[in-house]
Amino acid sequence: MTTITLVQGDITRQSADAIVNAANSSLLGGGGVDGAIHRRGGPAILAECRALRASHYGKGLPTGRAVATTAGDLDARWVIHTVGPVWSATEDRSGLLASCYRESLRVADELGARTVAFPAVSTGVYRWPMHDAARIAVETVRAAETGVEEVTFVLFDRQAYDTFAGQLGR
Ligand code: AR6
């Protein structure tokens, strides 16, 4: 069983074996969580992202996939970069959002990570409604077959925290 913990705050201040980044397929950084992780984690993360681009992901990391790098100066061993789907009102992309959580946990298992911190993937720049994103995140982590012992959702603001808490019945 994986324990699910909620924290309100900045994911770059979290300590965990692996911190998940809400990246984009370029793997070359951006705003939101991605910008914060690269700023606080330092240049070693970007250097590994560039190398991954060159070696494996010339066309970019596909949506719903995940890949790990060093965590640089963060209080973690790895950053797991995943690419969330952009919200669409006309197309159901929830399978891709679920895939972000499943693939991140699969990568965490490969690494031997026991504790993993997730942001609310796709709920910022990618505009996914928080309530629906929280449902998908919680359902997918609960259903995952993983050796990860603790998943912490790190929610930036009170409203996001309360939405996740509601999903967990807390
Ligand atoms: N710690 C925890 N949560 C945060 C932090 C933080 N430091 N900063 C923002 N959030 P977003 P996306 C919340 O936009 O929607 C980037 O440019 C934020 O309030 O970071 O998946 C990438 O490069 C929101 O609830 O990720 C991509 O181009 C959630 O984290 C694109 O944004 C996710 O917001 C990805 O968009």
Q: Among residues of the chain, what percentage have pLDDT more than 90?
A: 99
From 15, 33, 37, mutation site for ligand 1 pocket: most ligand atoms within 8 A of C-beta: 33
- Expressed in angstroms, the distance from the first to the final Cα of the chain is 18
Does 30 contact ligand 1 (Cβ within 6 A)?
yes
CATH 3.40.220.10 assigned to 3-167: yes
126 lines ligand 1 (CB under 6 A): yes
DSSP classification of residue 87: P
Each residue's pLDDT tens digit, 86-129:
999 999 999 999 999 999 999 999 999 999 999 999 999 999 99
- The whole-angstrom separation of Cα 134 and Cα 130 is 6
Q: Is 17 a catalytic residue?
A: no
Residue 40: pLDDT band with limits 50, 70, 90? very high
State which ligand 1 atom lies nearest to the alpha carbon of 130.
Answer: 25
Per residue in 50-66, pLDDT (tens digit) is: 999 999 999 999 999 99
Q: Is the CB of 64 under 6 A from ligand 1?
A: no
Residue 99, H or E segment = helix 94-111
- Residue 5 has φ and ψ, to the nearest 5°, of -120, 145
Residue 85 main-chain phi, psi, to 5 deg: -80, 150
Estimate the crossing angle of helix 130-143 against helix 94-111, to 10 degrees.
Answer: 40
Q: Are 103 and 64 in contact (CB under 8 A)?
A: yes
* pTM score over 0.90: yes
Distance 114 CA to ligand 1 centre (A): 23
Mean pLDDT of 31-46: 98
In this model, does residue 1 exceed pLDDT 90?
A: no
What order do you get walking across the sheet with 18-23 strand by strand? 3-8, 150-155, 115-118, 18-23, 78-83, 66-70
How much distance in Å is there from the Cα of 131 to the middle of ligand 1?
A: 16
Domain range list for the chain: 3-167
Report pLDDT for 112. Answer: 98
CA 149 / ligand 1 centre spacing (Å): 24
Look up the ipTM and state it: 0.99
Q: What is the mean pLDDT of the segment spanning 140-154?
A: 98
Q: Quick check: helix, strand or coil at residue 26?
A: coil
Q: What is the mean predicted confidence (pLDDT) over 34-41?
A: 98
